Amino acid sequence: MHQYRTLTLILILFTTHLFGQSSSVTGRILDIYNTPLQNVEVTNTAKQQFFSNANGYFELPKEGIYTFSKEGYHFQNLKLRSGKLYLIKLKPNTSQLNEVIVNANHIPKKLKNTSTSISIISTEDIERSNNINITSSLNRTPGIFMQTGALNTNRITILGIGSRNLFGTSKIRAYFKDIPLTDGSGNTALEDFELGSIGRIEVNKGAVSSIYGAGLGGTITLMPKPTIFGHHNLNNEFTFGSFGLLKNLTQLNLHTKKSGFNLTYSTTESEGYRDNNTYNRQTLTFNSTHFLTPKNELAILGSFVDLKAFIPSSLNEDDYLNTPTKAAFTWNSAKGFEDTQRGILGISWTHSFKPNLKQITSIFSSFRDGYEPRPFNILQENTKAYGIRSRLLGDSKLFNQNLKWTLGGEFFKDIHTYSTFENLYQDFPPGNGSVKGNELSNFKENRSYYNIFSEINQNLSKKTIVSFGINLNKTSYTLDDRYTVSQNNADQSGSYDFNVIVSPKFGLSHQFSRYSTFYANVSHGFSPISLEETLLPDGQINNSLKPETGWNFEIGSRGNAFNQKLQYTLSLYRLSVKNLLVARRTSEDQFIGINAGKTHHDGIEASLNYKVISSPFFNLNTTINATLNRYKFEDFVDDENDYSGNDLTGVPKEVINAIIDFSSRLNIYGNINFQYVGRIPITDSNNLYSDNYTITNLKLGFKKNINKNLKTNLFIGLNNIFDTKYASQILINASGFGGRAPRYYYPGNPFNYFGGINFNYSF
């Protein structure tokens, strides 16, 4: 045994010596979001060609100057030395997004080869406007519409799903990398997160349930700004604007040979356009990547948000038209606001068993503390959540064709406690604001779900890929009524346990030519019921409610034309939903959920991007994004009212964006964005619609390299240039109580401006 150990040690030392003397160069190539890039062409000055393997690794015979290039990415020229292990990252080329690798359904592939409707919102898209609100970035994306009543009051719909949620976003899943942002009741708040810390947004539209489970409308994945290897970097951006806007964003990027660190801190203040509209937010985001060994990677992601924002609420038609700056009377009298602290932390470990098999495991935790005085009561709540997500990702051969697959599961649990108290603001002099009174309720919810999922992508030929996926979901809630029950109050404790829901998916992608791809898919999805929707006025839980389920049918095409000057996407879809959940108002502050029928969501999405001028001196691009839909209640009976055949409430029939971008060798850049939004049905009876509107936004900037280490960027923007009056958010089916008119409208901001300066220092 001693001789065996000695021989082993000699062999190790000898091997180490050989490697130390080797003149070869080795390394790995990733995109900036750490996805391995296969078949990257590596060329030396002698025009010899080498390629990276399935995990992005490469080996070159000797040191020298090499060029790394791949379609869809900016090339890099690097001088490499022997004896070092290089980590090289390629940046996506936004003019060739169809060629970029996306992590759709966790099986990396080119965007043009995916079989589902996916949109990428790049860093350049985000920077087209200010970095205050995610709304403008999402609203330029076909199929998505985000309404904004205030910086902290938003509602997102995808393919019309989520339009019936009265306050906030639901029925859409959202992740910050692998960490769920959607709570156990299906509610999502993207607007709280710092936009400057986001590098890319991937939007999967429709019931892409084979991986993400409970998200009938789709999934929004926020990718944090990547760590930059190669140099240390300090970035600071200061923004000012109308309505007392002040924002400062500081980012620090550090790296070692195998680790990268990115830290973002921001403060945002605004007095707001309306009364009772002050906004104050601080955020801290941390993101790091660690390449521990050639087979092991570790990523850490954390975010903390501290927000206090006052709430002006919606207005009736007369106030909306004549005094849009005022807040709703009761909200202004109570000085209603939300005071929220929330944080998330996740750790992801990637282990490669071999080049074509790896496992990715993420554990995560989050919390949210909230305090919200409203005119009708004061809400105090706390949510703690934790979970784990793990999946195997493989790449093998079947009948001499590529077979890529993933198999995994996700478990999520959150504990939500909340109490309501009397708001005694009316007992005090005007201007005093909310005053906390006696306790009215005290609940504790335990909410959990798990998903087991699998997807297979099989190359039938070099041009045709089929995919099949399946998801198994189990969701359950328990409610503990911890309020001291009197003789006249019922104990509302109880449980709601869904049956196991199985959701399949089938997709096809066929490449007609190098620049044109056709795809089609059929998929099933569902959205869970929240506990609030199950509660009946008598305090019982309605176990007869069924979750909304739907089938998504879609065909589409992606590609390039005219010598790749034109990049396009086009899709036609139908999303059929049954067991439609309706919030029926029973009093000013109480709603109950009922299953009311079926809806059909038919639509067309199109995106065209054309390079009008492309030269070293001047670049001019034009983009047109359009969503045209016909969303209808197929079968909708609410109490004694039959709304079958009516337009779906809360979604515009048309959203069209036209964008012109330019940049020049003189370092001047800019864009102008025209957005048209069609009429929105406000009531289920369709007796009231909002007006259509067009708003125009402009941004101009000047970039200058002071020296090789310091870069500056000056910018100014004008929003709603023609001062259009419009409703930026609609409260559907609002009711007036006590003889007051219904408050349907959130006024959009009039003409406003912003400006700022950015310094970027490399050291």
pLDDT in tens, 350-362: 999 988 898 999 9
3-state SS assignment for residue 106: helix
41 vs 48: CA distance, rounded Å: 10
Instruction: Please report the pLDDT score of residue 430 as a whole number.
Output: 85
Asked if residue 488 has pLDDT above 80, the reply is no
**Does residue 122 contact residue 207 with C-beta atoms inside 8 Å?**
no
CA atoms within 13 A on the CB side of 650: 26
**Three-class DSSP category at 5:** helix
pLDDT category at 218 given cuts 50, 70, 90 is confident
Decide: helix, strand or coil at residue 202. Answer: strand
Span 310-336, mean pLDDT?
94
- In the numeric block, the tokens 């006025």 are attached to 537
- Does the residue 125 lie in any domain? no
Q: Taking the alpha carbons of 154, 156, 162, 164 in that order, is the dihedral positive or negative?
A: positive
pLDDT at 586 over 70: no
pTM of the model: 0.87
What phi-psi label fits residue 86: left (phi over 0), alpha (psi between -120 and 50 degrees) or beta? Answer: beta
Task: Tell me what the mean pLDDT of segment 26-54 comes to.
Answer: 85
Concatenating the DSSP letter of every residue in 248-264 gives EEEEEEEE-SSEEEEEE
For residue 17, report the phi and psi dihedrals to the nearest 5 degrees: -65, -45
Residue 5 pLDDT > 70: no
Q: Single out the residue in 91, 124, 142 at which a domain terminates.
A: 91
Q: What is the DSSP string of 412-461?
A: EEEEEEEEEEEE-GGGS-TT----EEEEEEEEEEEEEEEEEEEEEEEESS
Query: Which pLDDT does position 7 carry in this prediction?
Result: 45
* Beta-bridge mates of residue 367: 343, 384
pLDDT value, residue 162: 86
12, pLDDT greater than 50: no
Alpha carbon 583 to its chain's center? 25
Same domain, 275 and 413: yes
Phi and psi at residue 619, in whole multiples of 5°? Answer: -130, 135
* pLDDT at residue 545 tops 80: no
Q: Count how many Cα atoms sit within 13 Å of the Cα of residue 313 in the half-sphere of its side chain.
A: 20
Instruction: Categorize the per-residue pLDDT at 714 as very low, low, confident or very high, splitting at 50, 70 and 90.
Output: very high
Q: Do the beta carbons of residue 613 and residue 632 sit within 8 Å?
A: no
Coil vs helix vs strand at 572? strand
104 domain-assigned: no
Distance CA 703, CA 699 (A): 13
At 161-202, the pLDDT tens digits run 888 877 788 888 888 888 888 887 778 888 888 888 888 888
Q: Where are the alpha helices (DSSP H) in 194-328?
A: 209-212, 317-322
Domain assignment of residue 196, yes or no: no
The CATH number of residue 464's host domain is: 2.40.170.20
**Which of 148-152, 397-401, 557-561, 724-728 is predicted with the least confidence, judged by mean pLDDT?**
397-401
192: in domain: no
Examine the pLDDT at 159 and tell me if it is beyond 50: yes
- According to DSSP, residue 541 is labeled B
Amino acid at 476: S
3-class DSSP state of 533: helix
Smallest Cα–Cα separation from 415: which of 386, 379, 441, 389? 386
Residue 189 forms part of a structural domain: no
- Of 224, 228, 233, give the one whose Cα is nearest residue 197: 224
User: Using the 8-state DSSP alphabet, how is residue 99 labeled?
Assistant: G
Average pLDDT for the chain: 86
For residue 360, what is the DSSP state? E
Pick the residue with more confidence: 118 or 659? 659
Distances (CA, A) of 421 to 292, 377, 439: 51, 6, 4
Residue 274 belongs to some domain of the structure:
yes
Segment among 255-264, 584-593, 723-732 with least mean pLDDT: 584-593
Specify the number of domains making up the chain. Answer: 2
- By CB atoms closer than 10 A (0-12, 13-18, 19+), residue 47 is exposed
* Range with lowest mean pLDDT among 20-29, 196-205, 334-343, 656-665: 20-29
Q: Cα separations (Å) of 207 from 96, 248, 525, 547?
A: 27, 38, 5, 14
**Shared domain check, 426 and 281:** yes
Sign of dihedral through CA atoms 188, 191, 192, 196? Answer: positive
The tokens for 736 are 């007036």
Domain termination site, one of 67, 91, 115: 91
Q: What does the angle CA 64 – CA 65 – CA 70 come to, to the nearest 5 degrees?
A: 130
Q: Evaluate whether 441 touches 419 at the Cβ level (below 8 Å).
A: yes
Is 475 part of any domain?
Answer: yes
Residue 63 belongs to domain with CATH number: 2.60.40.1120
Residue with tokens 């791809």: 517
C-alpha pair distances (Å), 11 with each of 3, 8, 64, 663: 12, 5, 30, 58
Closest to 596 (Cα-Cα) out of 733, 699, 761, 748: 733
List the 25-31 sheet strands across, edge first: 57-60, 25-31, 85-90
Let me know if residue 96 belongs to a domain: no
**Could you tell me the residue range of the domain that residue 72 belongs to?**
2-91
Residue 556 — pLDDT band, cuts 50, 70, 90? very high
Is residue 575 exposed (0-12), middle (13-18) or buried (19+ Cβ within 10 Å)? buried
Higher pLDDT, 208 or 79: 79
Q: How far apart are CA 604 and CA 179, in angstroms?
A: 31
For 210, the 3-state DSSP assignment is helix
Instruction: Name 638's Cβ contacts closer than 8 Å, sequence gap at least 6.
Output: 582, 584, 594, 596, 684
